[in-house]
Chain A
């Protein structure tokens, strides 16, 4: 009985957080629609947002997977840049020389990029699960290392001039929906399936809820962590490929502020930083909210630094709100308990 009731409250809690987020999204949408209707409330703006959301959301999904297990992945941006750089390197060296099958090389380059991401993630997982290094430290070290490798292989320079066949992916639409958005939705559905329907995925939530209990319940914690960080690497690589495809270039230092943004999104999306709870819908919705804020600020001619200020503020406000609400609910539960018994 206890398990069922706990499951139910968890689900309700999830719904509550999602409802909150929908309300926040509506408020943000309405605010900017009223403040700057001619710049914000245009189809063009929303199409452009739909192109910008996927890369960030994919990085945030990677962070979410780590946070579900009560860990964190600070290296997502480095992995995404490393993957993008590998793909871009292959593309410029193999495709522009003319001859050969352009599409074949694009497929190979994409696969290599994703493999680079998966291997980087696997290495994170091995350091965390195998050696037992704290996730913060492990991914901090690999953040520096992966970024260092990306800087090193190309002498710190970015790769530009990717073939148009490749950039068509990131800038194209299918049935009116931007292709990056389709990639995000497919990947998001995959992550949701992984968390909710596969053994390893469900175990990863349990590991986050209580690692010790999970160990005693014969859950292969190491295997779970290995899978978690590998998937995070794969999602980061996808994000990197979308960025490269959209901008027709790859830069080892792209998006250094994305780490803060990804964590803001994940926390705003209702993922518990102590592990054990999080939804894909929440994360994608939170990305949309922050993208609307960015776009609205842009329309209002606020600087990018003001956006950074707002991100920090949102992160802290949400965290304070969550602790406050959780405390109150705990107290309410305690008060209620004697009456029930």
Chain B
């Protein structure tokens, strides 16, 4: 019973966002002000538009990873799944002569390829019960090796027309005072809808609640009669499909399909999701926090130069942010655990 108290406390705070989300918003605001005052170029409508554009794909990947983290696992194969699905889709479409203006064909194809790759992860993790880090590390090597040795290792510049056209589909374009065109990509809307849908799925559906339950305590979930294995399998297939969609959209925005892309971005996205407050031990994480985490990291990445910090220190800055994030999370977890024991003692 004692564990219920802190959670309900947390629930009360949800009206204003969790403490972590408030912290992220403050961090983003303070950082924006600092950057803006040291370089006024920052205060332009182009800045949030560019920030969103560079964050959209990462948000898609991050939302998938969020589901995995909430379930108590970790996935490092998703960027490779994404580029594998995206690149393969382009290759299939070009080989079949499907150089159409349709956007649905590549999206569905990429989702299918992603789901197939995801089901390999699902088989290893839910079927054979392998540790998630090692299983996805292994599939990362396998998928990347397979992609580059059997599907293709050259980059394709003439991607299907629909994808190419989509890269310049703007929702709003504003003429800024400096003369450049500030553009907000139309992808913002589907990503937002998807984020809301995932938030709904995690909070309101049986599947989502089971994911939380597994992450909280797998053994308890099993004994409550939840379909732990089947849920886990569905998580990795779903995340595969989501990564596939993210991969093909990445290719669309880049206007080229490069099979070497995205490898290595998993660290940054894990960093974003963890900064967003998701617990790597499972059982906790929010969509809002995840999106804020991605925005914060991209804000740092895109604007370090404006702060006078050379671009070569960008990685170190991200590493430092991640370190601060995981340390503060560990400290607050410890405090929460201590509180829980105190309450437990009070009750007894």
The answer to whether A312 touches B322, judged by C-beta atoms less than 8 angstroms apart, is: no
- A7 CB to closest chain B CB (Å) equals 25
Answer yes or no: B104 CB below 8 A from chain A CBs. no
Interface string of A121-155 (1 = CB under 8 A from B): 00000010001111011101111111111011001
Which of A200-208, A238-246, A301-309 contacts its partner? A301-309
Q: Which residues of A contact B334 (CB under 8 A)?
A: 132
The answer to whether A127 touches B323, judged by C-beta atoms less than 8 angstroms apart, is: yes
Answer yes or no: A323 CB below 8 A from chain B CBs. yes
The answer to whether B134 touches A141, judged by C-beta atoms less than 8 angstroms apart, is: no
Q: Which residues of B contact A138 (CB under 8 A)?
A: 326
Contact A260:B312 (CB < 8 A) given known A137-B274, A144-B271:
no
Max chain A C-beta neighbours (<10 A), residue from B124, B267, B271, B323: B323
- A308 CB to closest chain B CB (Å) equals 4
Answer yes or no: B225 CB below 8 A from chain A CBs. no
Q: Which residues of A contact B153 (CB under 8 A)?
A: 303, 305
Contact A145:B280 (CB < 8 A) given known A151-B315, A313-B138, A319-B134:
no
B315 interface neighbour in A136, A144, A256, A308, Cβ under 8 Å:
A144
- Chain B residues with a Cβ closer than 8 Å to the other chain, count: 51
Q: Which residues of A contact B326 (CB under 8 A)?
A: 127, 133-134, 137-138, 141
A313 interface neighbour in B137, B142, B268, Cβ under 8 Å:
B142
Answer yes or no: A156 CB below 8 A from chain B CBs. yes
The answer to whether A145 touches B145, judged by C-beta atoms less than 8 angstroms apart, is: no
Interface string of B110-144 (1 = CB under 8 A from A): 00000000000000100011110111011111111
Q: How far is the CA of A310 from the CA of B147 in the complex (A)?
A: 13
Residue of A nearest to B124 (CB): A316
- A309 CB to closest chain B CB (Å) equals 3
- A145 CB to closest chain B CB (Å) equals 3
The answer to whether A142 touches B312, judged by C-beta atoms less than 8 angstroms apart, is: no
The answer to whether B316 touches A141, judged by C-beta atoms less than 8 angstroms apart, is: no
Answer yes or no: B22 CB below 8 A from chain A CBs. no
Interface of B (DSSP majority class): helix
The answer to whether B142 touches A309, judged by C-beta atoms less than 8 angstroms apart, is: yes
Q: Which residues of B contact A303 (CB under 8 A)?
A: 148-149, 153
Q: Which residues of B contact A103 (CB under 8 A)?
A: none
- B62 CB to closest chain A CB (Å) equals 15
Q: How far is the CA of A252 from the CA of B315 in the complex (A)?
A: 12
Q: How far is the CA of A239 from the CA of B320 in the complex (A)?
A: 25
Answer yes or no: B74 CB below 8 A from chain A CBs. yes
- A125 CB to closest chain B CB (Å) equals 14
The answer to whether B138 touches A316, judged by C-beta atoms less than 8 angstroms apart, is: yes
- Chain A residues with a Cβ closer than 8 Å to the other chain, count: 46
Answer yes or no: B6 CB below 8 A from chain A CBs. no
Q: Which residues of A contact B227 (CB under 8 A)?
A: none
The answer to whether A323 touches B130, judged by C-beta atoms less than 8 angstroms apart, is: yes
Q: Which residues of A contact B268 (CB under 8 A)?
A: 144
Residue of A nearest to B131 (CB): A273
Q: How far is the CA of A310 from the CA of B143 in the complex (A)?
A: 10
Q: Which residues of A contact B34 (CB under 8 A)?
A: none
- B270 CB to closest chain A CB (Å) equals 6
Residue of B nearest to A146 (CB): B319
Q: How far is the CA of A320 from the CA of B329 in the complex (A)?
A: 33
Q: How far is the CA of A273 from the CA of B310 in the complex (A)?
A: 39
Q: Which residues of B contact A283 (CB under 8 A)?
A: none
Interface string of B65-82 (1 = CB under 8 A from A): 000000000100000000
Contact A151:B312 (CB < 8 A) given known A141-B271, A311-B141:
yes
- A207 CB to closest chain B CB (Å) equals 18
Q: How far is the CA of A305 from the CA of B263 in the complex (A)?
A: 13
Answer yes or no: B314 CB below 8 A from chain A CBs. yes
Answer yes or no: B155 CB below 8 A from chain A CBs. no
Interface string of A285-324 (1 = CB under 8 A from B): 0000000000000000011011111111101100110010
Answer yes or no: B83 CB below 8 A from chain A CBs. no
The answer to whether A152 touches B140, judged by C-beta atoms less than 8 angstroms apart, is: no
Answer yes or no: A72 CB below 8 A from chain B CBs. yes
Contact residues of B between 310 and 346, Cβ < 8 Å to A: 310, 312-320, 322-323, 325-327, 329-331, 333-334
The answer to whether B327 touches A315, judged by C-beta atoms less than 8 angstroms apart, is: no
Residue of B nearest to A257 (CB): B141
The answer to whether B312 touches A147, judged by C-beta atoms less than 8 angstroms apart, is: no
Interface residues of B (CB under 8 A from A): 74, 124, 128-131, 133-135, 137-149, 153, 264, 267-268, 270-271, 274, 280-281, 310, 312-320, 322-323, 325-327, 329-331, 333-334
- What are 15 inter-chain pairs, A to B, with CB distance below 8 A? A133-B329, A136-B74, A137-B326, A143-B319, A144-B316, A151-B316, A152-B316, A260-B140, A260-B141, A309-B145, A309-B149, A312-B141, A313-B142, A315-B134, A315-B137
Known: A144-B319, A309-B142. 4 other contacts (CB 8 A): A303-B149, A309-B149, A313-B142, A319-B134
